[in-house]
Amino acid sequence: MSNPQDQFTVRFWGVRGSIACPGQSTVRYGGNTSCVEMRVGGQRLIFDGGTGLRVLGQALTAEMPVEAHLFFSHSHWDHIQGFPFFVPAFIPNNRFHIYGTVAPNGSTIEQRLNDQMLHPNFPVPLQVMGADLKFYDLSIGQSMQLGEVQIENALLNHPGEAVGYRVSWQGGAVAYITDTEHFPDRLDENVLWLARNADLLIYDATYTDEEYYSERMSRIGWGHSTWQEAVKVAKAANVRQLVIFHHDPLHDDNFMDQVRSLTAEQFPNSLVAWEGLEVAISPLTVVSSASKVAVETQISA
């Protein structure tokens, strides 16, 4: 078994956007909202606390006591709703470092997580959580170190603001860019900066171009992007592997199969994220899968 200190892996626990959508038509890709875990250089990093965080929490109960760093892109419901159901946070001797930027209205990530657990929204307050919770306010554009692991962030184009993250360690890099809307006439410089030469780009491709520009129900201004734009970013930023993420709840397994095929035609080194997908960064390899989605086990450089 490999030493955790030498690992850089990414696992997807929730891949949907907007609202959880469990059911028979979403079994293969999953219905939980955003939550991505990275094990890198001995550190456990968690990005966003959608309903996928509840599932991750259940898995972590077998590893306690546990310490992890939880980074929020923003605090829309689909990115924080799993936090009140994150069982390890209620158990003493666990420790969680929680990070987020200050919202435009001045509220911190601690205030926003606290507020969602107040009456009448939730039966017990955040203070009932027995783990050691440490909150940190990040500045937009801040770079920080966790040992040898570097975490950078940049502002994204999303209503109410959101940030994307870049995690770098020993020459490998993963960009987590969700809840961002592309610009009509240019690629977003912040997105390109986060994604630059990344081994893995996780990108918000909630819609297709046809949906985004639909005359019947345009999604322009809703704060999300398309798989077509994801391909443009991946090519421009010289990304090794693209992962389509933050799937629309209306997109069932069959629809996502189509997105997977179409994306692969334009960017062969691409995947459509599903719950249970785990990718090792060096060498870039799919190391495990809890899904029936068929993939190649070794990804070309």
Tens digits of residue pLDDT in 73-87: 999 999 999 999 999
**pLDDT averaged over every residue in the chain:** 94
Q: Which amino acid makes up residue 123?
A: P
Per-residue confidence (pLDDT) for residue 293, from 0 to 100: 57
The stretch 268-279 carries a mean pLDDT of 97
User: Using 50, 70 and 90 to split pLDDT, how confident is the model at 197?
Assistant: very high
CATH code, domain with 21 = 3.60.15.10
In a domain, 22, yes or no: yes
Please tell me the total count of domains within the chain.
1
Closest CA to 137 of 158, 160, 163, 118: 163
- Tallying the residues shown for the chain, one arrives at 301
Q: Which residue has the higher pLDDT, 288 or 206?
A: 206
The pTM (predicted TM-score) of the whole model is: 0.95
Report the percent of the chain where pLDDT is more than 70.
Answer: 95
Cβ contacts of 20 within 8 Å, gap of 6 or more? 31, 32, 33, 50, 51, 78, 81, 249
pLDDT band at 299 (very low <50, low <70, confident <90, very high): very low
Cβ atoms 156, 162 nearer than 8 A: yes
pLDDT bucket at 159, cuts 50 / 70 / 90: very high
In a domain, 19, yes or no: yes
Distance between CA atoms of 73 and 38, rounded to whole angstroms?
Answer: 15
Distances (CA, A) of 119 to 54, 124, 230: 21, 8, 40
Determine the structural domain holding residue 135 and report its residue range: 4-288
Q: Does residue 103 lie in a domain region?
A: yes
Query: How many of the other CB atoms lie within 10 Å of CB of 266?
Result: 15
Q: What residues are paired with 167 via a beta bridge?
A: 151, 174
How many angstroms separate the CA atoms of 178 and 34, rounded? Answer: 9
**35 located within any domain:** yes
Report which DSSP code applies to 33: B
Check residue 286 and give its pLDDT.
83
Within-domain flag for 296: no
Q: What's the pLDDT score for residue 282?
A: 80
101: phi then psi, degrees, rounded to nearest 5: -80, 160
Question: For 4-32, what is the mean pLDDT?
Answer: 95
Categorize the per-residue pLDDT at 296 as very low, low, confident or very high, splitting at 50, 70 and 90: very low
Domain contains 168:
yes
The pLDDT value recorded for residue 33 is: 98
Average pLDDT for residues 128-139, to the nearest whole number? 98
Instruction: Tell me what the mean pLDDT of segment 242-259 comes to.
Output: 98
Residue 230 has pLDDT above 50, yes or no: yes
- For residue range 51-68, list pLDDT tens digits in order: 999 999 999 999 999 999
CA distance 103 to 11: 28
In this structure, how many other beta carbons lie within 10 angstroms of the beta carbon of residue 214?
13
216 and 243 in contact (C-beta within 8 Å)? Answer: no
pLDDT score for 95: 98
Residue 237 lies in a domain: yes
